[in-house]
Amino acid sequence: MFQQFTYSEQLTFVQKIKRLDIWLILCILVLGTIGTIAMYSSDGGEFSYYTKNHIIRFMVFFLMMLVFSFVRIKFWHTLGYFFYFVVVLLLIYASLYGITASGSQRWINLYFVNFQPSELMKIAVIVCFAKYYHRMQINDANKFKNLLIPIIILIIPIFLVLIQPDLGTSILIALSGLVVIWLSGVNIKYFIYSTLTLIISAPFVIYLLEPYQKLRILTFFNPGRDPLGAGYQIIQSKIAVGSGGLSGKGFLKGTQSYLEFLPEKHTDFIFTLFTLFSEEFGFLGSLGLLVIYSLMIYRIIWIGSLSRSFFGKLYCYGFGSAIFVYVVVNMCMVLGLVPIVGSPLPIMSYGGSSMLATMIGLSIVMSSKIYHQQLIP
């Protein structure tokens, strides 16, 4: 992309601390606090199992993020392909020997915690592609050979996640990878051709879906077809969002959650936790949360613009775009604008694997900020 020279930047510990992005850290802390408040509210105003676990996980992973931030950005560049390869092996292991829950075999038992490697693949794909395109000219990126390799890199984890089965996560992995490919300079016409191919093949893809996945699509078009079954979650979520009004009903006064109308409040439907948050704090509270996410994404993109290495730029732009996609998909899912998929809300969701992956992703962003003057040959 452009000529780069080796630049070794020696920083003291104090200088590294000063280079941490305070605004990004504040966004992370605020989102973690809001997630804890929402979890506390969903547990009926008690520090029960879910709330305590969420607080412990957030504190541990936040400290881990700060420690990993001091790792040189060149290390993440060197680790790119190896990181991807290790997560692929974990996906294979999960498919063969993983724990089965809710009809999907996607978790690995680490004894102290159940780990979902597909969440980590969302980050691994971005790191891998950022390394792949780091030294590549735009004209070379559009050559057939250089297009085929990233497609293969992307198809492997998508296939492994689909057979678990986990359609939602496979779609998010695909979007994460495609965003980086597009940002690297690949001609837009290839995306148009791919979209047309996907539309044409949609009937065949739907035929291969699991029965519960087909049911989710049908429920998306008509939630009222099964209001007490498949459509129950989305209907109650809409009621919770709409009943909040402008300023909400007040903390711990949300009837939809308190009266147990909202199932799965701690997982993918934490925007239902946010619908709970929306019911208690209204449109203004919801808008405030969106502003915080917007500020976080802006800071990630801004950090990317500071980086003198194309790897750092491409990673930050790709990760910021991925966070945007995760937030939009989760919110649209709960509001009935897209079919239901497993898409945790970054930082706020209860899932430990999702929070771990997000914090690792943020640590690489912070590393790009601390070592933004470092050039990678």
The pLDDT profile of the chain, 377 residues, written as one tens digit per residue, is: 334 444 445 778 888 888 899 999 999 999 999 888 887 777 666 777 778 888 888 999 999 999 999 999 999 999 989 999 999 999 998 888 877 766 667 778 776 667 888 889 999 999 999 999 888 877 777 888 888 888 899 999 988 888 877 777 888 888 888 888 888 888 888 778 777 877 777 677 666 666 766 666 766 666 666 666 666 667 777 777 777 777 777 776 666 655 555 555 544 444 456 677 777 777 888 888 899 999 999 999 999 999 888 899 999 999 999 999 888 887 777 777 777 666 778 888 777 788 899 999 999 999 999 998 877 77
Indicate whether 318 belongs to any domain. yes
Q: Classify residue 53: in a domain, yes or no.
A: yes
Helices (H), 43-72: 49-69
Q: How far apart are CA 280 and CA 39, in angstroms?
A: 13
HSE-up of residue 168 (Cα within 13 Å, Cβ side): 20
Closest of 154, 177, 180, 171 to residue 317, by C-alpha:
180
Residue 242, in any domain of the structure? yes
For residue 360, tell me if it sits in a domain. Answer: yes
For 345, residues 6+ apart whose C-beta sits below 8 A from its C-beta are: 270, 271, 274, 326, 327, 330, 331
The answer to the question of residue 56 being in a domain is yes
Angle at 345 between CA 343 and CA 351, to 5 degrees: 80
Distance CA 179, CA 196 (A): 17
Answer whether residue 196 is part of any domain.
yes
Q: State how many domains the chain has.
A: 1
Q: Please report whether residue 8 resides in a domain.
A: no
Question: Within 13 Å of residue 36, how many CA atoms lie on the same side as its CB?
Answer: 15
Residue 343's pLDDT is what? 73
What does pTM read for this prediction? 0.85
For residue 1, being part of any structural domain is answered with no
What residues make up the domain containing 236? 13-370
- 46-75: b or e for each residue (b if 16 or more CB lie within 10 Å)? eeeebbeebbebbeebbeebbebbbbbbbe
